[in-house]
Structure 1
Amino acid sequence: MGKKKPRPRRSFTPQFKADIVERCRRGDRTVGQVAKDFDLTETAVRDWVKQAQVDAGEREGLTNGEQEELAALRRENRRLREDVEILRRATAFFAAGTR
């Protein structure tokens, strides 16, 4: 049997995700049925529902805003570490040249 061709990665607007989550929360259809109706993976829809619960304070975890802030802080931290390393090397270089 042939292998399935992987599906190209798609992106969805926050409004689309919110609409899908709302359909799942209504309770008249399962997450799997909603995912199938919109040609989505069940895992992705479940993740959207979980994140919506976190954002609403119904579940423990980091909200979208907190995740974005954490990612920004990690980027800044990485950049600052690189800056410190450059300064450390420059200091060593110039200290060796003055002897």
Structure 2
Amino acid sequence: MSNKNKFTEDYKKEIVKLVTELGKKPTDVAKDIGVTPTSIRRWVKQYSLHGEDAFPGKGKLRPADAEQKRLEKENKDLKEEIAILKKAMGIFSRDVK
């Protein structure tokens, strides 16, 4: 069984607020909830960088990341379609005698 605690998005946001708004030390908060101070600092950093989208959950992407991934897939698909069309043009434009 895993020793790793799983915290919800809302719980992490509350912990971040304890540090950022109430001025509690990450080491004290970490000791109270049973995680490392590094985890608390990482949560604070993620929240400061991404705001409300900081903790999307396991296997989920932030909206901006999801859009980026969708655009990359669309770009790849379009490049494949262009390559197919170029091959077809080459085949149909040959001199047939």
Scaled to the shorter chain, the TM-score interval is 0.5 to 0.7
Q: CA RMSD in A?
A: 2.8
TM-score, with structure 2 as normaliser: 0.64
Equivalent residue for 1:41?
36
The percent identity for this pair of structures is 24
TM-score, with structure 1 as normaliser: 0.63
Q: Distance in 2 between matches of 1:62 and 1:13?
A: 16
Change (3 A) 1:94 1:10: farther
Equivalent residue for 1:63?
51
The structure having more radius of gyration, on CA atoms, is 2
Q: Distance in 2 between matches of 1:23 and 1:71?
A: 28
Q: Distance in 2 between matches of 1:88 and 1:38?
A: 55
Report the secondary structure of 1:26's partner residue: coil
Q: Distance in 1 between matches of 2:34 and 2:53?
A: 28
Extract unaligned runs of 5+ from structure 1.
Answer: 1-6, 55-60
Q: Distance in 1 between matches of 2:90 and 2:38?
A: 57
Alignment of 1:11-90 (within 5 A): 11-24=6-19, 25-27=21-23, 29-52=24-47, 54=48, 61-65=49-53, 68-90=62-84
Question: How many residue pairs end up in the alignment?
Answer: 85
- Cα offsets for 1:17-36 (capped at 9, x unmatched): 12322333433x42112112
AA at the equivalent of 2:17: E
- Cα offsets for 1:36-79 (capped at 9, x unmatched): 22221212211323444x3xxxxxx4434498232022112211
Q: How much has 1:94 moved relative to structure 2?
A: 0.7
Change (3 A) 1:64 1:15: closer
Higher relative contact order (CA 8 A, sep 6+): 2
